[in-house]
Amino acid sequence: MNKEENDNLQVVDDLLSVQEKCETEENEKVEILSLDSLTAFKGHPFKVTQNEDFKKLVDSIKENGVLVPAIARPKGGGYELIAGHRRKAACELLGLKTMPVLVREMTNEQAVIFMVDSNVQRENVLPSEKAFAYKMKMDALNRQGKRAESASTPVVSKSRSNEIVGGENGESREQVRRYIRLTELIPQLLQMVDDGKIAFRPAVELSYLPKEQQKQLLSVTEAEQSTPSLAQAQKLKDLSADGALDELAITSLMREQKGNQCEYVRIPCEKIRSILKTDTPVKDLEELILRAVTEYKRKLVRQQDRGAR
């Protein structure tokens, strides 16, 4: 028996164990449900992208079937899918009509938390996916806290929610806050973050701009074929806060050369000193090199003048 067959048998054994536990402890079981009866989770932030991982999932289901059941809860005469959107999409692509689903009763808050936790640890999660997932989970925790407060039990504060979300996902409280700020970006700018055209930290600063100014920035970035650095994003935020940001100011700022766009010629000092046979201090070498280049330029001009006569 090869390793893949071993792994598949182990998965099946685990599923049978899970199903037996559900039936005996929680009166739950894995059911074979029609794909048409499964609706997507409302506000589901994770995209079903037909990338290489999705193709592998399709191939696996084609060969072995759906080994890990989806999770759903009863809703509106059907079922709301909580975990398993990619599996459902793969089944639809293969022309399958049903899939195994573990049906579980959950409150709205429990469903949100389970949905986020079951997806956010995946590889290649986009910044926008994390942003909306963290926001949904934190809001769910806060709602649970408010209900606990009304029942005279300790409430989960907003900062504590940040800590919980971050701690469960290997992020600091501040990093969770930054991700959630991305939800304030207009869709076009957020897509540029997902595409890697705008870096994460500048995007966080841009999220503080009013939507109209974000649209102006988008127009300028398209015209100038340039996106803001962190320093530029911070300046945009400051100008906006001072009421001094308009499209002209955005254009002027975006035309400034970024520090990382400057080109440099780097020559080790020892190489220059070995040619000059001198211990000229570093601070004087730049002046010396510039004088030498200037003199070289003059000689080239004189040669060109002679050739033109």
* Mean pLDDT of all residues belonging to the chain: 82
Is residue 263 over pLDDT 80?
no
Is residue 90 over pLDDT 70?
yes
pLDDT in tens, 220-244: 999 989 999 999 999 999 999 999 9
Per-domain residue ranges of the chain: 1-106, 107-184, 186-261, 269-304
82 and 42 Cβ atoms separated by less than 8 Å:
no
Token pair 């989770």 is at which residue? 41
Q: What is the pTM of this model?
A: 0.68
**DSSP state letters, 164-211:** HHHHHTT--HHHHHHHHHGGGS-HHHHHHHHTTSS-HHHHHHHTTS-H
- Other Cβ atoms within 10 Å of 264 Cβ, number: 5
% of the chain at pLDDT higher than 90: 53
| 89 three-state secondary structure | helix
The top-level CATH class assigned to 1-106 is alpha beta
Q: CB under 8 Å to 222, separation ≥6 — which residues?
A: none
